[in-house]
Amino acid sequence: MGKNLFEKIIGTHLLSGTMEPGSEVGIRIDQTLTQDALGTMAYLQFEAMGVPVAKTQSVSYIDHNTLQDGFENADDHRYLQTVADKYGIKYSKAGNGICHQVHLERFSCPGATLIGSDSHTPTCGAVGMVAMGVGGMDVAVAMAGGPFYLTYPKIVRVNLKGKLKPWCAAKDIILELLKTLTTKGNVGTVIEYGGDGLATLTVPERATITNMGAELGVTTSIFPSDEMTEAFFRAQARVEDWQELNPDADAKYDRVIDLDLAAIVPNVACPHSPDNIKTIREIEGMEVQQVLVGSCTNSSYRDLMIVAAMLKGKKVHPKVSMGVAPGSKQVLAMIAKNGALMDLISAGVRILESTCGFCVGCGQAPQTKGVSLRSNNRNFEGRSGTKDGQVYLVSPETCVAAALTGKVTDPRDLGMEYPNIVLPEVYEIDDSMVIVPSCDPSVEVFRGPNIGEPPKNTPMPENLSAKVAIKVGDKITTDHIMPAGSYLKYRSNVPKYSGYVFYHINPEFAPSCHKNKEQGFASIIVAGLSYGQGSSREHAALCPMYLGVRVLLAKSVERIHGANLTNFGILQLTFADDADYERIQEGDQLAIDNMHQAIKQDTVTVRNVTQGYEFETKCNLTSRQREIVLCGGLLNFTGK
């Protein structure tokens, strides 16, 4: 039996385990990346491991907290630069671009493995990498030379057939797949793309698809490395990094999905979930107040050239505020040189910094109840910075259609000829904003007052007595757990940031956890389906751990967040019977007896002391993960 693409790459990196769905495997990691919102804690953890130099090709990007509205961000960036210089990590300065866009351009490598402390790291799957989003602790361990462990996934083949029609875009492809698969129920799955339609999709278009594949909740997404990939690497002056990689003709897949590209129409993800998909026709005519193009999903040279071509000689509607954020300095320099930037400016577009910016709630919050059409990947409630903001996710083409008309408009109705964008044979190459490290052990690492020591958990007690500090529903995202935007500047200050856990759901969560501690109880979180969607931010596990949370009881947990919970010593259990979820109330006292033995079983009995009954839960952790939880987290486990 032939091998699929994922099998081929993992097979050359396998360190332990068996490549069978559901089995735990350990793999060698070639590259890591971090961004500043999550990287600070990752490097603090790496320092705590006492390793003299990073053993992976690693890049530290500054792309989230570039607005220096206080000392915190500037201090943390100086910490990141000095720690990178000392430990052999490349440092991409603020303004050089978004980590996924820059890494795709300058560091991606077909056949290699990459993990990054950002959930959209699978972007680099566009060129045939196994690229996965993880928590910062996993990045630190890989940099120290340790394996990365994952549950070997099922492989789903998505056959792309035919060719997109004009005004239909790669964004519409991934939105169509989200309509089919939704954001939940895909844990332990990899999406591998194939079919004759591949020949029609450039690397930037493939990157849009692999990037937003993160919203499916899959382990990663991957395309073959073919002639289209070679052309991209040649244009980036990195053809020596390219190799052809294809699945075998008789490769086996756990499921096959066929998508007819010619049948795809302009789609939209409506508030407040990336899988709330409708066609543009279904919502056309709605008035729009804001349009934003950018983020790691749609900020490539190709994307911005389409936007500029559509706006050339025209004006943004007077009632619309439109902003464009180039994904990298490379993209910005190229559109500045060829005149496209002037076309944007002349049309009335606000030119934003080459950062994550509006996607993560750092600026450009819409007006009260404002309708904002955006080309980014997430539209969770409040993520934009406006609690009642109505964020719709669409292609750059559909963004421009709304910017010109002032309302949701199908771009096919504009009466324009679709722009013919030819990708350059040679991109603008200038890596001067990527600082090469000295690896000098005498480098003094800068530590501002916002920097603290990475907190450690305590070993799991023999008998656990805890109170339910909060009960939440389905599809709780890491944005719900740990708000982003202006709160991100506290990510290096865990005691401060912990005060905002679940802040927009229940601002009394942190005080109630403190009260539980004072009374001698741990805390428990109770949740519904697909808990921990969205960003990989490990603070959604780290900060609850700091507050004394020892157990998550949920109907189901997403992959990255589940790994983060384990890394910080929080036991995740799933309900054997959903009726038990309905019965539990906030404030109930729960107990698990003989924890050290109970955690080694697949079924764990929990006593509801308050209501006087017992119920069964499932523990789906591997034996290694159970030991980590008993130790109180990965830092303790590594230091044994």
Q: What integer pLDDT is reported at residue 65 of this predicted model?
A: 86
Q: Kindly report the CA angle at 536 between 133 and 356, in degrees rounded to 5?
A: 90
In a domain, 443, yes or no: no
Amino acid at 462: E
In a domain, 353, yes or no: yes
Range with the poorest average pLDDT among 185-199, 232-246, 443-457: 443-457
Residue 288 phi/psi, 5-degree rounding, is: -120, 135
> What string of H, E and C letters represents the secondary structure of 77-136?
HHHHHHHHHHHCCEEECCCCECHHHHHHHHCCCCCCEEEECCCCHHHHHHHCCEEEECCH
In a domain, 210, yes or no: yes
**In which band, very low, low, confident or very high, does the pLDDT at 542 lie, cut at 50, 70 and 90?**
very high
**In which band, very low, low, confident or very high, does the pLDDT at 640 lie, cut at 50, 70 and 90?**
low
What is d(CA 640, CA 630) in angstroms, rounded to the nearest whole number?
12
**Residue 313, domain extent:** 267-413
Q: Percent of the chain, pLDDT > 70? A: 100
Give 394-442 pLDDT, tens digit per residue.
Answer: 999 999 999 999 999 999 999 999 999 999 999 999 999 999 999 999 9
- Is 338's pLDDT higher than 70? yes
End-to-end CA distance of the chain: 42
What is d(CA 271, CA 379) in angstroms, rounded to the nearest whole number?
6
Amino acid at 190: V
Whether 407 and 512 map to the same domain: the answer is no
**In which band, very low, low, confident or very high, does the pLDDT at 302 lie, cut at 50, 70 and 90?**
very high
**In which band, very low, low, confident or very high, does the pLDDT at 68 lie, cut at 50, 70 and 90?**
confident
What is the value of pTM for the model shown? 0.94
In a domain, 456, yes or no: no
Task: Classify residue 249 by burial, with Cβ atoms within 10 Å: 0-12, 13-18, 19+.
Answer: exposed
Give 158-206 pLDDT, tens digit per residue.
Answer: 999 999 999 999 999 999 999 999 998 899 999 999 999 999 999 999 9
Q: Kindly report the CA angle at 395 between 205 and 188, in degrees rounded to 5?
A: 60
For the chain, give the longest Cα–Cα distance: 73
List Cα–Cα distances, 453 to 44, 252, 631, in angstroms. Answer: 7, 47, 19
Q: What integer pLDDT is reported at residue 450 of this predicted model?
A: 83
What is d(CA 171, CA 228) in angstroms, rounded to the nearest whole number?
19
Give 361-399 pLDDT, tens digit per residue.
Answer: 888 999 999 999 999 999 989 899 899 999 999 999 999
Residues 481, 530: contact at Cβ < 8 Å? no
Give 246-299 pLDDT, tens digit per residue.
Answer: 999 999 999 999 999 999 999 999 999 999 999 999 999 999 999 999 999 999
Reduce the DSSP state of residue 620 to 3 states and report it. Answer: coil
In a domain, 272, yes or no: yes
Whether 39 and 179 map to the same domain: the answer is yes
**In which band, very low, low, confident or very high, does the pLDDT at 478 lie, cut at 50, 70 and 90?**
very high
The domain total for the chain is 3
- Is 224's pLDDT higher than 90? yes
633 Rama sector, left if φ>0, alpha if ψ -120 to 50, beta otherwise: left
Q: What integer pLDDT is reported at residue 458 of this predicted model?
A: 95
Please list the helix, strand and coil fractions of the chain in percent, rounded to the nearest 5, in that order. Answer: 35, 20, 45
CATH number for the domain that contains residue 600: 3.20.19.10
The last residue of one of the domains, among 242, 263, 284, is: 263
Using CA of residue 456, residue 66, residue 436, residue 133, what is the dihedral sign? positive
Whether 234 and 371 map to the same domain: the answer is no
